[in-house]
Amino acid sequence: MTQDLPSENVPRRLWTPTNPQATQMEKFRLFVNQKLGKTYANYEELYAWSCSNISDFWSAVWEYTGIIASIPYTQVVDESLKVSDLPEWFQGTRLNYAENLLWRQDDKVAIISTGEKREPSFLTYKELYAQVQVYAGALRKLGVTQGDRVVGYIPNCPEAIIAMLATASLGAIWSSTSPDFGISGVLDRFSQIKPKVLFSVNAIVYNGKVYDHQEKLRQVAEELDDLVATVLIPFVPSHPMEVQSLRKGVSLEEFLEKSDNAPLTFAQLPFDHPLFILFSSGTTGKPKCIVHRAGGMLIQHKKEHVIHGNLGENDVFFQYTTTGWMMWNWLVAGLSFGCTIVLYDGSPFKPGPEALWEMVDTYGITAFGTSAKYIQSLQDVNFKPNEHYKLSTLHSLYSTGSPLKPESFDYVYNCIKSDLCLGSITGGTDICSLFAGANTAASVYRGEIQTRCLGMAIEAWDGPEKPVFGQSGDLVCVKAFPCMPVYFWNDEDGSKYKGAYFDNYDGVWYHGDFVSINPVTGGVVMLGRSDGTLNPAGIRFGSAEIYNIVDNFNEIEDSLVVGQKQDVDERVVLFLKMAPGCEFNEDLVSRLKLKIRQQLSARHVPAIFLATPEIPHTIAVKRIISGQKYIPSGTLANPECLQFYYNLPELLQ
């Protein structure tokens, strides 16, 4: 809840909606007031109610967003149960995720697909429905049924969405990784879930080059014993197709020719029926297989897009993502409210930094999703989209993947567009959705995520049952929510699940993020991962605080800050990768120390500064922080760099 505090606690306001009454958030508030006889006057009151009356709230979201179900629910949730009891949701109902995304069957464009060296393609809702029908019939002919796993080692293309929807229509489970994953990284994931069908492509295009994908695919398929088909899609038509080299190989054309062509039907399933399997990063062992429920994904994503994002059927929604990131699942959910979604596969900087922004004017994109890293990269090359494009249709910009620096907020409003809702958003693979994000009916403050999302009872805890405001703490969620994983795959006794989220604090969800909640604005500041929380001399602070300063030094290309445990304390170590032509020296270290001391405090200054040839990153471009001696190389984009970090003499002292 917000409260009156001195003005120095309020960051600079960068944007205020001109007509908040016209937003879906305000309409939803009035809907709740009328339906339940309430008098909630603002978002803060609505949020507090949504977290203290979770059955009434999620029932209202169900009705407001128009969930399609063949049988109504008898109970939303047992509110006497704790989060850690993993309660059942919307008992008694029967629905299908794919049916809720395919309710339109008209000539409106559902999917625009483009990318490097690719002509754009357009798929209407009518065409999408027809193609899902054929795919579903072909999967059925292969014996795919409820609970089977169908996977994609596949780029961000319409075929991935069609295959996913066909899978969901049958009640089977979909999982995907992107072609940039290495063989071991894919097998670490798919070998655990034993897929029956694998969709993939002959080649991909990235950074201006064509890369054959079939040798990697061949090695992956050889190790998946339960496969009945490896379906090869001619993603790069000019590249050879080597179907015969693949175990159980079949071309997409041959696969579809075997369809039974029966009318498309939708298996009517419980709300908690498995829909997706997503994977943890795998930095401390084999990736955990996180199983998400169909109903949870549907209602949560509709809440986020429709109510929080103010999106509707007239919007054109773009999110730069791969199929290996939860943002792909989040993007596809745009079909549930009938908008047009835009897919892009390839480098966002080919032929130049204008690559994605040209699409805004060409396709009339209204909501543009990307990563904080991408926005920083635009800043680094001083590219200003508003000097090259009109961007007249754009009303929302989403940033995620890592904390968005305050300076990047300035860049967005100065160099992209002054009148848009900048939704810095945060959640994760674990919930395949958001804990905090955009609110188009509220102001944007510099450096802050706008709000805690409705129904997500998150707090910052500085110890068990010690919520704090205006200071840093662990992000916890104290009430159950429907997008919690239904279970982990191969975790029969639930010990891995409980260990992942409920070992740190009894009875509440521990997410592993380090945050601060502003008591004045209600905004959230991401300070990094809790496993990246630094604690020298008992003073806890987030790694993002250091990165925000280091990233302003042009001579530094990349960095990694970690805490090194010692006998009774911890010291902070800062690794620096220098930009080409720049030198690591004492002058740089002195300037860094001074800036950190001035902007943060003396206790934030790292004890050791070291130059490094490379910073380890996951394929999703996230810095690696691991307490383990060795990190599985299949998880990394640059595994060869790890050798440098073993037995550094400076860290043995």
**258-280: pLDDT as tens digits:** 999 999 999 999 999 999 999 98
CATH 3.40.50.980 occupies which residues in the chain? Answer: 125-267
pLDDT value of residue 162: 99
pLDDT value of residue 5: 41
pLDDT value of residue 50: 99
Domain 125-267: give its CATH code: 3.40.50.980
pTM: predicted TM-score of the whole model, two decimal places: 0.86
pLDDT value of residue 533: 63
CB 391 within 8 Å of CB 367 = no
**325-344: per-residue pLDDT in tens?**
999 999 999 999 999 999 99
pLDDT value of residue 648: 79
pLDDT value of residue 606: 92
DSSP code of residue 11? P
Element (H, E) at 343: strand 340-345
The long-range contacts involving 554-562, CB below 8 angstroms and separated by at least 24 positions, are 554/579, 555/579, 555/582, 555/583, 555/588, 556/582, 556/588, 558/615, 559/615, 560/612, 560/615, 560/616, 560/623, 560/624, 560/625, 561/532, 561/534, 561/606, 562/532, 562/534, 562/625
CB 288 within 8 Å of CB 494 = no
Q: Does domain 533-651 have CATH number 3.90.660.10?
A: no
pLDDT value of residue 2: 39
pLDDT value of residue 281: 73
- Can you give the length of the chain in residues? 653
Contacts of residue 142, defined as CB under 8 A and 6 or more positions apart, other chains included, come to 196, 197, 228, 229, 258
pLDDT value of residue 285: 64
Give me the residues of the chain with pLDDT under 70, please: 1-9, 282-285, 531-533, 535, 537-540, 542, 565-569, 601, 618-636, 652-653
CB 615 within 8 Å of CB 641 = yes
Residue type, 316: V
CATH 3.30.300.30 occupies which residues in the chain? Answer: 533-651
